[in-house]
Amino acid sequence: MTPASRKKLVVAHSVRPEAPLHEVETNRALARWLAQVLGLKYGGSYDPELHNGRDLYLLPTQTLVGVAAARRLGVKGPEDLWGGYVDHDFICTKAISHGLRNKNAHAPEGWSPLFSERVRSVVLDGLSVFSMDDARPAAEHLLYSGPIRIKPIHACAGRGQEVIKSLDQFDAILARPDAKTLFTEGVVLEQDLDKVITHSVGQSFIGDQVLSYCGDQYLTEDGQGEQVYGGSNLLVVQGYYDDLLELDLPDDVRLAIHQAQVFDSAADEAYPGFYASRRNYDIAQGVDSNGKQRSGVLEQSWRMGGASSAEVAALQSFVNDPGMRAIRVSSVETYIDQPLPADAIEVYRGPAQNSDFLLKYVTVKSYDG
């Protein structure tokens, strides 16, 4: 890090007042770990009275939204946080992955049609909806090609999603008491795939370090039996995507990296106020209803996410051994109470939002075995 940035205080910041304990404690654990790796002081959780006027390096749990929020936290650019900033809330959700049904469809303030034009070739078939009036026409249009998945734009970890196979089934959703709220807040309607593999592709810019990575993520059952995020396996290099692509990678992984790069560049172009020092993208590859292989970016994560602990572990490995070319790291989330595996690094152990127990940990392996 530069001499000036060495004075920064690393601070955790739980953005949502209603955030569950595991999110808050994971945020604090990663901020503490990152401070140690960077040789900086850890300042605990953000406190406006304690930290006002201090030179901070912030780890927010969510993407920061709006100039006022960023200014209040002392964040002026990507060098001040590990995460991201957007001018409007919808920009950091699933909503930007797809365009609207037509030019008359309702759009939130700040919506950029340019983004969906730029990413059309690297996403699945889908539409974003922001009103009840636009919902049924959008579903009808997409259902001609096969089953669709309904995805509330603020849901995470795969929660709240449903697969729709007919208009009758969709009409039943429109008849629910909460339907107006659901569609007004924003919903993505997207083609559903079978035999899905979800790739994680991303970059982290921390101090003077740049990490680029690819990998896959998998699901697990939470305490309620729902399929939710269970972890990520990442291959990480020091440097940029070009450095990552120099490795021996399968064609499907190379495709996922290319699609993430297109999506990432489109965000910079279509939303010029946006910046991020953590840029993570989920790319789904599977089979559509016609038996055709499809690949597309599902969404972005410009904030701390499930794979963040693996990224910090990779950063520590590179700081410890600057000559290392690449490293394999895994983040794991399990809802089964169990001892920590040998050589694993515990990130969180305790209650979860929807379960009595959640364990998060990281493992590190060499690139070449």
Residue 169 pLDDT: 95
Choice between 150 and 159, residue whose per-residue pLDDT is larger: 150
Query: What's the pLDDT at 4?
Result: 44
Q: How far is CA 3 from CA 6, 205, 322, 367, in A?
A: 5, 17, 19, 32
> What are the contacts of 102-107 at 24+ separation with CB within 8 A?
105/129, 105/130, 105/131, 105/134, 105/138, 106/130, 106/131, 106/133, 106/134
The tens digit of pLDDT for each residue in 320-361 reads 999 999 999 999 999 999 999 999 999 999 998 878 899 999
Mean pLDDT to the nearest integer, 42-63: 94
- Contact yes or no for 73/84 (Cβ under 8 A): no
Q: Does domain 93-122+125-192 have CATH number 3.40.50.300?
A: no
Q: What sign does the CA torsion over 285, 173, 306, 111 have? A: positive
Per-residue pLDDT at 155: 77
**Tokens 């208009």 belong to which residue?**
167
Give the pLDDT confidence of 171-184 residue by residue, as tens digits: 999 999 999 999 99
Residue 3 in 3-state DSSP?
A: coil
Class of domain 195-366: alpha beta
Count CB-CB contacts under 10 A for residue 279: 23
The answer to whether residue 3 scores a pLDDT higher than 50 is no
C-alpha span between 277 and 84 (Å, rounded): 6
Q: Is the distance from CB of 39 to CB of 2 less than 8 angstroms?
A: no
Chain segment 54-74, per-residue pLDDT in tens? 999 999 999 999 999 999 999
Checking if the pLDDT of 157 tops 90, the result is no
- pLDDT tens profile 188-198: 999 999 999 99
Choose the CATH number for 5-87 among 3.10.50, 3.30.720, 1.10.3470, 3.40.50. 3.40.50
What would the mean pLDDT of 9-13 be, rounded to a whole number? Answer: 96
Q: Are 192 and 264 in contact (CB under 8 A)?
A: no
d(C-alpha 215, C-alpha 90), whole Å? 26
Asked if 153 and 93 count as a contact pair (C-beta separation under 8 A), the reply is yes
Any idea where the domains of the chain sit in the sequence? 5-87, 93-122+125-192, 195-366
pLDDT score of 225: 84
- Cα dist from 107 to 143, 170, 178, whole Å: 22, 21, 20
91 falls in which pLDDT band (50, 70, 90)?
A: very high
